[in-house]
């Protein structure tokens, strides 16, 4: 036994800190950055599990500090859709080869970036509750498979006229909910261990610190500039994760 849960603990904490900064800058994107970064030195399933555990722990704090600021009607429908989609995502995570998972993670990030860039729908409009259920189901699939429920949910909110503050709070609580939904499948699959829980507890302060730092940076710079920066960071991690998967296939 050592004082640290994993030999890679230092790299995990660094990845979590950087992903936390991105979360603080953009209001979303922790798993989008943390999972591919940690997948560079951990099995993808282990990286996904750790991201889910950290988001679940952080969500306990967020559900208190953000109480009353999220959009309850939309959130209920997103979560209802995620209840359907999450088990299928977890099944894919347990079934697919790690090499395929690395490539799939890269593809999912690139698809999410494309959705964010295009902002489909031609401009903000009143939120569609039916579309919220569909977005929730796809987000649940992404969340269970790669701890990345963000792209479908963020793309949905970008098409609505929901105020930014309410959107951000709704997304944070939705990510907390999808992490909780993914947990039973991860436990059943044997991916949640005493060591992974200890690693999540160790890394949590780094995630919270990174979020705080990112928020401070965001307050001093215009939103559009940091949005572009966040997309560049996500693009870099997607390319790195995809390159490792392709290298493994090439042998």
225, burial (CB in 10 Å: exposed 0-12, middle 13-18, buried 19+): exposed
Give the separation between CA 128 and CA 109, rounded to whole angstroms: 25
Specify the length of the chain in residues. 251
Tell me the C-alpha distance between 204 and 151, whole Å: 23
pLDDT computed for residue 251 by the predictor: 63
Residue 1 pLDDT: 39
pLDDT in tens, 176-231: 888 888 888 889 889 999 989 999 999 999 999 998 898 888 778 765 676 677 67
């Amino acid at each position: 036994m050592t004082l640290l849960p994993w030999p890679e603990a230092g790299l995990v904490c660094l990845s979590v800190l950087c992903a936390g900064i991105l979360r603080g800058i953009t209001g979303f994107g922790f798993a989008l950055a943390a999972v591919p970064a940690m997948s560079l030195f951990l099995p993808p399933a282990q990286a996904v599990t750790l991201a889910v555990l950290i988001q679940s722990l952080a969500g306990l704090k967020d559900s208190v500090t953000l109480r009353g600021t999220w959009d309850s009607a939309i959130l209920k429908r997103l979560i209802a859709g995620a209840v359907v989609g999450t088990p299928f995502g977890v099944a894919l995570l347990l079934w697919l080869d790690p090499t395929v998972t690395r490539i799939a993670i890269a593809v999912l990030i690139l698809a999410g970036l494309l959705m964010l860039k295009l902002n489909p729908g031609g401009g903000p409009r009143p939120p569609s509750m039916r579309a919220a259920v569909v977005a929730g189901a796809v987000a649940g699939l992404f969340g269970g498979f790669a701890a990345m429920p963000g792209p479908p949910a963020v793309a949905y909110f970008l098409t609505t006229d929901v105020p930014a503050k309410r959107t951000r709070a709704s997304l944070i609580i939705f990510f907390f909910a999808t992490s909780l939904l993914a947990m039973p499948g991860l436990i059943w699959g044997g991916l949640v261990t005493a060591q992974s829980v200890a690693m999540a507890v160790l890394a949590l302060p780094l995630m919270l610190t990174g979020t705080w730092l990112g928020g401070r940076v965001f307050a001093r710079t215009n939103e559009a500039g940091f949005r572009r920066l966040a997309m560049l960071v996500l693009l870099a991690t997607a390319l790195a994760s995809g390159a490792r998967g392709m290298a493994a296939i090439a042998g």
